[in-house]
Structure 1
């Protein structure tokens, strides 16, 4: 099967600003020391100008779109298909079904594949939460740029909205911070990769008393895999309900379960 390209018109929102956002998010994910300033240096543009463009506060001229796009390795024909307006499609999506989110491929993919989007929604529930990008970035151990982009993405797909006073609130009521059935397998794989990377890092960085990493190895009949997945799903949801029962919460945790084969199929 052909791997989806970055500019697959069926798979992304046609707005150059979101191309920049995606590129920055990808680079930050690959290198924890990468920043908006690093991205601006590569593009040969001032950090303040790039920040204004990414946040929709500065329009993108066709000339600038072409200059920045070529530095990103995009083709002129592809750039011509992308909008240059400072604000993309900001229409709010009220529904929460997987079918509604599927058409918003770029944002849906970004939300699913970068766990800090969901971590932000959960962090909002914690005691003494502060809507300050620097404070949030420190708590979630990601960059300020990633937090700002995450907030905008969550707003665009309707998971965050603003009240009459302009304050952000979570529209999901805690029910959307999970991988939805029906979304692309590529998005799910990327989400799981990021989650496992976090788990590996925690083994090295987090004291034993603040985490739990256990495993068990078993021989099974693969005909029981469907039942195994059902049991895991039931446990995951029951565990979540139990842990969220407290009226006061202070940290965001992630449960990552892997049930994988250690042996290869018998070809004989």
Structure 2
């Protein structure tokens, strides 16, 4: 059985625990539920499938039934709270506690580095900027950033990027990217950080309207009325366009400046309000 620290979804952990026990013996959901103190033989099965949610009162019983004690119980309990969290802010707070528990016990959450990378705009910018400025110290990198950040913030980001194997540092102190681009992938918690990153980048974009010369930035937009079929087709075109931008940007190894492209396509009306009686 994989360590509980390799999970961010408690339902998946319960499902995998059951599958492993079932493969090794005649273990049943009824037996699992009985050990955890539930009268319903299918309760935990339904929890693992997402039909029911595990209550706070039941967490300790289920964790004990799976032999999770100490910090592993604490981590499992936070996973349940993560599932219960309703807002991005609440999810980030819970996941931060999960990361802290794992860090204190020298364990690695597989999704942790991805979450940390997308949590703050400084990380993707420094990842692009550092290789473009060979030999530059954190202070010089900080001065090159827009908006301005401190040398300490740059150092913190660089240390994280190297530790997460997103940058490599050679003996001369120069940085090199380990891969051309970083994507979110099919992860559970990372989209919470990505939404936060979009908010940060949106605020920076607003400042760029007045703070960046017109010949160094491009803003345009269009307001259209569409159907659901048109929406799906437009989204597919946006995805293809993003892939083309990445292809152009990564065609050369050299970098003169770091840019951010925000592609925003969102409703300005409510569907129900558009329907005529």
Give TM-score scaled by structure 1 length.
Answer: 0.59
Cα distance, 1:171 vs structure 2: 4.3
Cα distance, 1:183 vs structure 2: 4.7
Cα distance, 1:192 vs structure 2: 0.5
Structure 1 residues 189 and 14: alpha-carbon distance in aligned structure 2, compared to 1, 3 A threshold: same
Residue 160 of structure 1 contacts residue 168 of structure 1 at CA under 8 Å; is this kept in 2?
Answer: no
Cα distance, 1:153 vs structure 2: 1.2
Could you say which residue in structure 1 is the equivalent of 2:67? none
Residue 136 of structure 1 contacts residue 147 of structure 1 at CA under 8 Å; is this kept in 2?
Answer: yes
Could you say which residue in structure 1 is the equivalent of 2:93? 6
> Which secondary structure state, in structure 2, belongs to the residue aligned with residue 4 of structure 1?
helix
Structure 1 residues 153 and 170: alpha-carbon distance in aligned structure 2, compared to 1, 3 A threshold: same
Match 1:150 to one of 152, 157, 163: 157
Cα distance, 1:214 vs structure 2: 0.5
1:66-98 CA-to-partner distances (Å, cap 9, x unmatched) read xxxxxxxxxxxxxxxx57xxxx66x8xxxxxxx
What pairs with 1:96-175 in structure 2 (closer than 5 Å)?
A: 101-102=110-111, 104=112, 107-126=113-132, 128-140=133-145, 141-163=148-170, 165=171, 167=173, 169-175=175-181
Bigger RCO of structures 1 and 2 (CA < 8 A, at least 6 apart): 1
Could you say which residue in structure 2 is the equivalent of 1:226? 232
Greater shift, 241-250 or 255-264, is seen at 241-250
Could you say which residue in structure 2 is the equivalent of 1:257? 263
Cα distance, 1:5 vs structure 2: 6.1
Structure 1 residues 255 and 9: alpha-carbon distance in aligned structure 2, compared to 1, 3 A threshold: closer
Cα distance in 1 between the residues matched to 2:176 and 2:231: 35
Cα distance in 2 between the residues matched to 1:216 and 1:5: 34
Residue 123 of structure 1 contacts residue 251 of structure 1 at CA under 8 Å; is this kept in 2?
Answer: yes
Cα distance in 2 between the residues matched to 1:108 and 1:238: 23
Residue 114 of structure 1 contacts residue 191 of structure 1 at CA under 8 Å; is this kept in 2?
Answer: yes
> Which secondary structure state, in structure 2, belongs to the residue aligned with residue 13 of structure 1?
helix
Match 2:193 to one of 187, 190, 193: 187
Greater helix proportion: 2
> Which secondary structure state, in structure 1, belongs to the residue aligned with residue 100 of structure 2?
coil
Q: Radius of gyration: which is bigger?
A: 2
Could you say which residue in structure 1 is the equivalent of 2:241? 235
Residue 142 of structure 2 contacts residue 154 of structure 2 at CA under 8 Å; is this kept in 1?
Answer: yes
Structure 1 residues 154 and 237: alpha-carbon distance in aligned structure 2, compared to 1, 3 A threshold: same
Cα distance in 2 between the residues matched to 1:134 and 1:191: 24
> Which secondary structure state, in structure 1, belongs to the residue aligned with residue 168 of structure 2?
strand
Cα distance in 2 between the residues matched to 1:263 and 1:9: 35
Structure 1 residues 5 and 192: alpha-carbon distance in aligned structure 2, compared to 1, 3 A threshold: closer
Give TM-score scaled by structure 2 length.
Answer: 0.58
What is the aligned residue count?
Answer: 184
The answer for unaligned runs of 5 or more in structure 1 is 19-81, 92-99
Match 1:201 to one of 200, 204, 207: 207
> Which secondary structure state, in structure 1, belongs to the residue aligned with residue 161 of structure 2?
helix
